[in-house]
Amino acid sequence: MKGLGVGLIGTGYMGKCHALAWNNVASVFGDVARPRLVTLAEVNAGLAAEKARELGFSRSTGNWRDLLNDPEIDVVSVTTPNAFHPEMAIAALEAGKHVWCEKPMAPHFQDAVGMRDAARRAGRVSAMGYNYIQNPVIRHIRRLLDEGAIGTANHVRAEMDEDFMADPAAPFYWKSEASSGYGALDDFAVHPLSLLFALFGHVESVVTDMVKPYATRPLKEGGARQVENHDIASTLFKLQGGISAVLMANRSAWGRKGRIALQIFGSRGSILYDQERMNEFQLYLADGRAEEQGFRTVLTAPHHRPYDRFVPAPGHGLGFNDLKTIECRELIAAIGGEKAHLIDFEDGLRMERSVHAMARAFNERRWVSVSELED
């Protein structure tokens, strides 16, 4: 069986992560044809050639449009800054390629609608890079919720904190531009939001506050530039099924490195999870003698599938890049016509609708129903 032909656009943080996944997926899972790493695109031919050598692609180009007419390419990974996603994803779909696009879909809601519509028209697979839903721990939490292990879930607290923008002296870059989106919401809060979607279904209404801790950031070439979006956001949610949720996101939180924490409270117990300790979760069940009740820590093990595909020993742990490899396997399943655990452009648009409702709630200082945002 011929493996999928892959085109990759961008080789930064996420581009390398996609490239590792495409390189590893056949070896890890053992049940798919090895993808063919055909062409890598970067901003210029020199960088593209260097990265193609490093990441194992046969060809390279300084013009991403070269990927579109190449019949050897079946699927395109879009890992460029947010503002490029609509143009690149739509062009790839229109060229008949499947698309694996990094989050968020687009800074503007109507562009995200355009991406969803392009996927519908093309009839190709469209997948978003919401890797955290792939953690075997999250999959197991979903199972616990489905089985009613903690009774009826009634409240969720979600937090996402990192400190990559905590230093006021850190130079201005694309993440602080309005053209890249709302900052803390679509750059950041979308990750815990993807977990809320994966675990609880859709958002019904929201109210949001946002904060800009630093008004300006220094420019590398000297001087300073106005920060155009917000680094901190707090949202109250009403979720499908009457569950209430709180989501707090801060990309300028000194000391936090990769926190995506969930506290899920139910009528018979609670579940705690934090991405900084991504190989474990805590479970509290209100049964047995009160004297012995307490949170217990469960470490991931081969029975938390697909952990078993990476390592046979319990408690040894997966890493961030492994989540992308799992996402890649799901994408290959979807392309093969199998049922897959992915956020596609249809679900991605539902998430975008929530994000834009959050921004509208902040701008208009009121609760906003997600249904106010029409396609």
Name the minimum Å distance from CB 48 to ligand NAD. 8
Q: How far is the CB of 219 from ligand NAD (least distance, A)?
A: 17
Residue number, 85 or 269, with CB nearest to ligand NAD: 85
CB of 62 to ligand NAD, least distance (A): 8
Q: Smaller CB distance to ligand NAD: residue 7 or 306? A: 7
Asked if residue 349 lies in contact with residue 105, where contact means CB atoms within 8 angstroms, the answer is yes
> What letter does residue 371 receive in the DSSP assignment?
G
Please report, for residues 145, 282, 365, the alpha-carbon distance to residue 293 in angstroms, rounded to integers and kept in the order given: 20, 13, 42
Q: CB of 205 within 8 A of CB of 198?
A: no
Nearer to ligand NAD, 41 or 357 (CB): 41
Distance of closest approach, residue 191 Cβ to ligand NAD, in angstroms: 7
Give the nearer residue to ligand NAD in terms of CB position, either 101 or 144.
Answer: 101
Nearer to ligand NAD, 102 or 352 (CB): 102
Provide the minimum distance between the beta carbon of 131 and ligand NAD in the complex, in angstroms, as a whole number: 5
Beta sheet of 296-299, edge-to-edge order: 296-299, 280-285, 269-274, 259-266, 153-161, 244-250, 232-239, 203-211, 368-369
Interface residues toward ligand NAD, by CB under 6 A: 9-15, 41-43, 64, 79-82, 84, 102-103, 129, 131, 187
Least Cβ distance, residue 351 to ligand NAD (angstroms): 13
The least distance separating ligand NAD from the CB of residue 57, rounded to whole angstroms, comes to 13
Beta-bridge partner residues of 75: 6, 98
Residue 13 or 338: which CB sits closer to ligand NAD? 13
Q: Which is nearer to ligand NAD, 230 or 243 (CB)?
A: 230
The string of DSSP codes covering 164-233 is TT--TTSPP-GGGSGGG--BIIIIIIHHHHHHHHHHH--EEEEEEEEE-S-SEEE-TTSSEEE--SBSEE
Identify which of residues 56 and 242 has a Cβ nearer to ligand NAD in the complex: 56
Q: How far is the CB of 281 from ligand NAD (least distance, A)?
A: 20
Smallest gap from residue 373 Cβ to ligand NAD (A): 21
CA distance 6 to 74: 6
Tokens representing residue 293 in the block: 């009740």
Q: Contacts for 38-45 with beta carbons within 8 Å, 24 or more apart? A: 38/5, 38/6, 38/7, 38/70, 38/72, 38/73, 39/7, 39/8, 39/66, 39/67, 39/70, 39/72, 39/73, 40/7, 40/8, 40/11, 41/7, 41/8, 41/9, 41/10, 41/66, 41/67, 42/10, 42/11
Residue number with the smallest Cβ distance to ligand NAD: 12
Q: Which of 140, 73, 72 is nearest to 305 (CA)?
A: 140
Calculate the CA 270 to chain-centre distance.
Answer: 25
Rank residues 11 and 235 by Cβ distance to ligand NAD and give the closer one.
11
